[in-house]
Structure 1
Amino acid sequence: MTGQTKRATISDVALHAGVSRAAVSKVLRGAYGVSDIMKTRVETSMDALGYRPSALARGMRGSSFTLGVFVVDLSNTFVSVLIEGIRTEAELRGYQVFIGEANRGLNQQQRMIEAMMDRKMDGLVLIAPFGTEEELEKIGRSTPTVVLGRHGPGQNYDTVASDDVAGSALIVDHLVSLGHRRITHLLHIGREKNESTMPQSVRAKGYVEAMVRNGLEGEVDLLESRWSQEGGAVAADQMLGRAAPPTAVHTGTDMAAFGVLARFYDLGIPVPGDFSVVGYDNALAAALPQIALTTVDQSGIEMGSIATRLLVERIEGRSEPVSTLVPPKLVIRKTSGPPR
């Protein structure tokens, strides 16, 4: 009976690659500042030796190699795109991702985040969280944190967001170029107060600024709604019930746009013949030929990847805050056209 092959260790990898144990450790952790040459050299040796790091050993050295991802609402399909970007980048860097949802408000969010911290996760990605900037600063002082979807800058956490002012401007300018003047924007009103750094606040600001810039300050129309399919359907009825309904709507998110489109379909209202609808997110369903939604692409995969890279840098010791805005792109499909 042959003896069992000895499992390769980090020392074996270092010897094979001709580098120090510390260098191998940095590559394994995806440490900030590791050169591509060093990374390739170490990974080649790992493959040659069949080396696989022990999660237990890593945890005993003070790192669990786990990241907590908090989301407010998993039913928003764009969140799955962000998570895909987070998970892919995390796996490349040797981290596992655990996801928690809290859609019932700030208290539930606080309990969920505390549970993640109690389980010694190395860092947190908070996707469009509730609460004030002061509450986010408190979390950032306790554990490495990146806030995804909220605008910055923070002092003790990093932020990654779409340039929502520019995104709303793309929508308004597009609709105005088609001849629309009565353009409504759906302003999300949720369970908690809208903070100025939240996407709903920033997108509304961008909408108002773009309307004014186009000489349509008298047509500014912020309709309070919910950024959900149900909220979009309710908003559709409210717009149609007016004496002079708008001819186009900037729904704020694709989920709300789906609700508007579904309600118009039920009522037999042609889109874009009688009404133009523009979303925001470019969720996967937006590209389906049955929907073909004109929308703003936030580059969700890229946003998730950037958030993970920043979080790993914070875990590795960077303390200077970083605030990143990802440029949006308008994707024109079949739900926008000239007004009747």
Structure 2
Amino acid sequence: MSRSSVTKRPTIVDVAAHAGVSTAAASKVLRGAYGVSPEMKAKVQASMKALGYRPLASARGMRGRTYTVAVVVADLHNEFSSLLVEGIRRECERQKYRLLVAPAGSGKDAQDRMVEDLIDRAMDGIVLISPLGTDAELEELAKKIPVVVLGRHGASPEFDSVAADDFAGANLVVDHLVSLGHRQITYVNHTTTGTNDARLPEEVRVRGYVDAMIRHGLGDAIDIIQSQWSQEGGEESGRLILSRKERPTAVFAGCDVAAFGVLTALWNAGIRVPDEISVAGFDNIFTTSLAPISMTTVDQSGLNMGSTAGRLLLERVGGRAEAVNSSVLPVLVPRETSAAPLLEVGKG
């Protein structure tokens, strides 16, 4: 395509000429400034529509708000992240804001680079899903731009936060499995490079598992597999369990994606679920409810969490300064992958 064949993007000067008004008048209509007559406003808006005029985001940023916010997410493979993003998107759409989804990749350096890029691009605010970093670092960021932290526990006077009660959710799963008669319950945990932040969901959930096991007098049976909350991590955990001489009667994976991996390993080995081994997850993503799977899990209202985060962020953008810490109460969703143990532990 030649340079001459490229259509020139219309400017505010073009709009003014088309409407037969001054550039200053057209600019006042664009800004929503005081003192513009209804007739003038209608004339300029008609020209904007006719020319296909759209103001540059950078120009909007110079005037103030860009009416664009971003959500930074590290794990797009996890369907639960999509639920959170969709909840944020719905709230932004309701309030006439644009949402930019920013994949941060893995690691804190990648996350920090993405955040700085978003600030440079004049976002009005940012939602961070389970961000890495200290409270001090997040608070310093919140001094630059309105921030809502989603999924990470802990309140701060500088930013808002939305999280499920992951501790209570893990308790619900262990209580359910114990009520069915299980005593050998293995937990699949998520670990990252270095030391996990105690406020991240994975750390809170594993503490909930340990607490429930001890509460039921099963402290000696605590069994934690350090893995990754991914399909691959779940499959590796499932194969590890199958390689043991004594197998658990139930497996609790800290997120549904890992639980699917465990199920895959068990199904590939011909293990009957739940007759030989029960399996439970956490998140209640859509695929857990499909009839051929029907997996026991914990619902933490991902759409509502995302919607709440979006609402809080736009309130921050609008000027609210007081911090809000919102907690979601999880609910157990028992399905077909959990049942009373029928075979003795260790057989197979």
TM-score (norm 2): 0.81
Moved more, 239-248 or 269-278: 239-248
Q: 2:98 aligned with 1:96, yes or no? A: yes
Secondary structure of 1:84's match?
Answer: helix
1:133 shift after superposition: 2.2
Partner of 1:24: none
1:167 paired residue number: 169
The one of 49, 65, 68 aligned to 1:66? 68
Match of 1:303 in 2: 305
Residues 113-128 of structure 1 correspond to what in structure 2 (within 5 A)?
Answer: 113-128=115-130
CA deviation profile, 1:230-274 (whole Å, cap 9, x unmatched)? 000000111222232111111000000010011111100010010
Measure, in 2, the Cα distance between the counterparts of 1:248 and 1:154. Answer: 38
- What does the per-residue CA deviation read over 1:208-230, in whole Å, with 9 as the maximum and x for residues that have no partner? 11111111111111210100000
1-structure distance, mates of 2:135, 2:248: 35
- Distance in 2 between the 1:217 and 1:132 partners? 31
| 3-state DSSP of counterpart to 1:325 | strand
Q: Specify the SS of the correspondent of 1:334.
A: coil
User: Which residue pairs with 1:216 in the alignment?
Assistant: 218
Question: Percent same amino acid at aligned positions?
Answer: 48
| Corresponding residue of 1:256 | 258
Aligned match for 1:196, one of 195, 198, 202: 198
2:45 maps to which residue? none
Q: Does 1:183 align with 2:185?
A: yes
SS of alignment partner, residue 89 of structure 2: helix
Query: In the alignment, residue 210 of structure 1 is paired with which amino acid?
Result: A
- C-alpha separation in 2, matches of 1:296 and 1:15: 56
Q: Work out the CA distance in 1 between the residues paired with 2:76 and 2:247.
A: 32
Contact 2:174 2:209 (8 Å CA) reproduced: yes
Matching residue of 1:31: none
- For structure 1, which runs of at least 5 residues remain unmatched after alignment? 17-49
| Contact 1:106 1:192 (C-alpha < 8 Å) held by counterparts | no
**Shift in Å, 1:295:** 0.5
For 1:142, the aligned partner's letter is K
CA shift digits 1:80-133 (9 cap, x unpaired): 111110000011111101111122311111111100011010000001112222
Write out per-residue CA displacement over residues 54-96 of structure 1, whole angstroms, 9 at most, x where no aligned residue.
8668545300011111001101111111111000001111110
Structure of larger gyration radius: 2
Following superposition of structure 1 onto structure 2, how do residues 319-330 of structure 1 map, counting pairs within 5 Å? 319-330=321-332
CA contact (8 A) 2:229 2:257 kept: yes
1:130 and 1:192 in contact (8 A); partners too: no
Quote the residue 1:242 is aligned against. Answer: 244
Aligned residues: 303
Pick from 227, 230, 235 the counterpart of residue 229 of structure 2: 227
Give the aligned partner of residue 341 of structure 2.
339
Alpha-carbon offset, residue 334 of structure 1:
0.7
Question: Could you tell me how far apart the structure 2 residues matched to 1:300 and 1:192 are?
Answer: 28
**Alpha-carbon contact 1:183-1:220 (below 8 Å) kept:** yes
- Given that residues 61 and 122 in structure 2 are in contact (C-alpha distance below 8 angstroms), is that contact kept between their aligned partners in structure 1? no
> CA RMSD of the aligned region, Å?
2.5
Cα distance in 1 for residues equivalent to 2:277 and 2:135: 38
Tell me the alpha carbon deviations over residues 166-201 of structure 1, each in whole angstroms, 9 at most, x when there is no partner. Answer: 100110000000000111111101235310100000
8 Å CA contact retained: 1:286, 1:293:
yes
Letter in 1 for 2:155: P
CA deviation vs aligned residue, 1:271-328 (integer Å, no higher than 9, x gap): 0010011000111111111211110011001000000111111112222221111011
For residues 84 and 339 of structure 2, the distance between their equivalents in structure 1, rounded to whole angstroms, comes to 30
Q: In the aligned structure 2, how far is the partner of 1:309 from the partner of 1:15?
A: 33
Hey, what does 1:26 align to over in structure 2? none
Matches of 2:248 and 2:182, distance apart in 1: 9
- Report the 3-state secondary structure (helix = DSSP H, G, I; strand = E; otherwise coil) of the residue aligned with 1:142: coil
